[in-house]
Amino acid sequence: MKKHELEKIIASYYLSDKVTVIVSDVTKYDDSRVEIRRADDGLLIWRAWDFEEGFMEDLDKNLKPFSIPA
């Protein structure tokens, strides 16, 4: 999945300022890595690559706790 596509999906969650989400292009094949970190100390909460099985479900599960209701 392309980096900008993932960034659009992540932006739709309206995340609190308690976390930062970093999307990185890590290969020439448009694979992306997503990291969720605590904003205050940078502690890694979750990291995965978009080619992993169940990536979108895991991304959703890990972003929802930090999502602000619209």
* Residue pLDDT tens, the chain, 70 long: 788 899 999 999 999 999 999 999 877 788 899 999 999 999 999 999 999 999 999 999 999 999 998 7
Domain ranges of the chain: 3-66
Q: Are 59 and 34 in contact (CB under 8 A)?
A: yes
pTM: 0.90
CA-based nearest residue to 60, from 13, 11, 17: 13
> Which CATH architecture does the domain made up of 3-66 adopt?
2-Layer Sandwich (3.30)
